[in-house]
Amino acid sequence: MKIALVGIGKIALDQHVPAIAASPDWELAATVSRSGRVDGVEAFTDLETLLETRPDIRTISLCLPPVPRFAYAMAAIKAGRHLMLEKPPGATLAECHALTEAARAAGTALYATWHSRQADMVAAAKAWLADKHLSRLIVTWKEDVCRWHPGQAWIWEPGGLGVFDPGINALSIVTEILPEAIHVAEATLEVPENCQTPIAARIRFAHASGAEVSAVFDWRQEGDQTWEIEAVTDQGTLTLKDGGAVMLIDGTASGQAAPLAGEYPRLYQQMARLVEQGGIDMDLRPMTLVADAFTLGRRITTEAFIE
Ligand code: NAP
C-alpha cells in the first residue's frame, strides 16, 4: 500500500522512513514538508496538492508536532484518506474526538499511535500483571532534554507538552499494562520562567483498587537516562527498564520479547491491519491523564531554560 509521510523532521527520519522501508506492507510514495525530503521520493510542500494530485495514495502518516497537526489530519480524513498520527494524537482532547467522529463519518481508518506501547516487553508485562494484586507502581522517566530535543522550540510553547512529551510515553505503557484504571489525583509542574510548559512534573494517581501509583518526570537528567516503571504486587515486583525494552521480575530478567523487532515496525504493521480491516484505534487514556495533570497541577516557577 502506498503511504505519504507529512512533517519530515526528527522522528520521521529516525524511525518512520526506516520502518516503512523495511515493511512488507508499505511503500513510501510521497512526502509533505516545508523543508525536508527523502531521497528518491516525490516531495510536496503542501498537503492539499498531494491530496488532489495523488489519489492513489490512500494512507497519510502525520509526524508533525501536535499543535499544527489537526488541520492536516482533518484535511486528510475529509479527502477520504486513512490516517496514522504520531503521539500525542492532537493538541487537545476535543481535537481528537473531532477526528474520531470525522473518520467514522468518512469510513476511513484512524490510528493514534503510542510507540512506547510497542516496546519489546510491554506485552509480557501486561500478561504478568493481569492476575496480580497491585500495591504500588512508580514511574521514573528522567532524561536530558538537550540530548533528545535539540533546537525544538515547539515543546516549550502552549500545546508542546514540555516534559509530558516523553512522560506521555510512560503513561501509554502504564495504561496498557495495568488491568485497572487510574486517574490523576494531584500533580506538581515545574515550569521554567521563560517557558510555557513544564521541565519536570510529579503526579499522584488514584487507582481503582487503592494501589499507590505515582510518576516523576524530569528533563534535567544528565549522565545515565532513566525510563523505568516498577510495579509491586502480592506475587513479586515487576520492573520495566529502558522504556519497556527489558523486564525484570524480582530483579531477574524475564519474559519473551514481542515478535517483529522494533516499536515503529509494529506500529506500521498495526496500521496495515487497520486499513485492511477498517477501523479506528484511538485510545485517549494517556492524553487524558496528561490533560488532567495540566488541569489539576500546581505550578512552580523554576529557573529559565537556556539550551
Ligand atoms: P520536529 O523534528 O521538531 O518536527 C517535525 C516536522 O514537523 C518538522 O520537520 C517540520 O517540517 C514540521 N513542522 C514543525 N512545525 C510545524 C508547523 N507549525 N506547521 C507545519 N509543519 C511543522 O519534531 P519531531 O521530534 O519529529 O516530533 C514530531 C512528533 O513526533 C511529536 O508529536 C513528537 O512527540 C513525536 N515523537 C518524537 C520523538 C523524538 O524522539 N523526537 C519520538 C517519538 C515521537 P517542515 O518544517 O519541513 O515542514
Å from CA of 67 to ligand 1 middle:
10
Q: What mean pLDDT, rounded, does the chain reach?
A: 97
Mean pLDDT of the region 74-89: 98
pLDDT score, position 256: 82
Q: Which residue has the cell 499544527?
A: 68
pLDDT score, position 261: 82
Q: Does the Cβ of 233 fall within 6 Å of ligand 1?
A: no
User: What is each CA distance from 244 to 47, 196, 216, in whole angstroms?
Assistant: 35, 29, 16
pLDDT score, position 191: 98
Segment 28-47, tens digit of pLDDT = 999 999 999 999 999 999 99
Q: Does the Cβ of 279 fall within 6 Å of ligand 1?
A: no
CATH number listed for the domain at residues 2-112:
3.40.50.720
Whether 163 contacts 264, CB under 8 Å: no
Segment 98-113, tens digit of pLDDT = 999 999 999 999 999 9
All cell numbers assigned to 287: 492524553
pLDDT score, position 14: 95
Mean pLDDT of the region 192-207: 98
Q: How far apart are CA 150 and CA 146, in angstroms?
A: 5
The DSSP symbol for 81 reads -
Q: Check if 87 is active-site.
A: yes
The closest residue, in CA terms, to atom 36 on ligand 1 is 11
Predicted confidence (pLDDT) at residue 135 exceeds the cutoff of 80 = yes
Instruction: Please pick, among 87, 126, 132, 142, the residue that the annotation labels catalytic.
Output: 87
pLDDT score, position 218: 98
SS3 134: strand
Sheet of strand 59-62, all strands in order from the earlier edge strand to the far edge: 42-44, 27-32, 2-6, 59-62, 82-85, 110-112, 280-281
pLDDT score, position 258: 80
Q: How far apart are CA 190 and CA 175, in angstroms?
A: 24
Segment 243-253, tens digit of pLDDT = 999 999 999 99
- Closest Cα partner for 117 from 237, 20, 243? 243
Predicted confidence (pLDDT) at residue 259 exceeds the cutoff of 80 = no
Number of residues written out for the chain: 307
Instruction: Specify the fold of 116-254+290-302.
Output: Dihydrodipicolinate Reductase; domain 2 (3.30.360)
Residue 183 neighbours by CB distance under 10 Å: 14
Å from CA of 95 to ligand 1 middle:
18
Q: Where are the domains of the chain?
A: 2-112, 116-254+290-302
Whether 237 contacts 231, CB under 8 Å: yes
Mean pLDDT of the region 115-135: 97
Atom of ligand 1 nearest to the CA of 151: 3
Å from CA of 149 to ligand 1 middle:
10
pLDDT score, position 257: 81
Segment 140-185, tens digit of pLDDT = 999 999 999 999 999 999 999 999 999 999 999 999 999 999 999 9
Å from CA of 206 to ligand 1 middle:
33
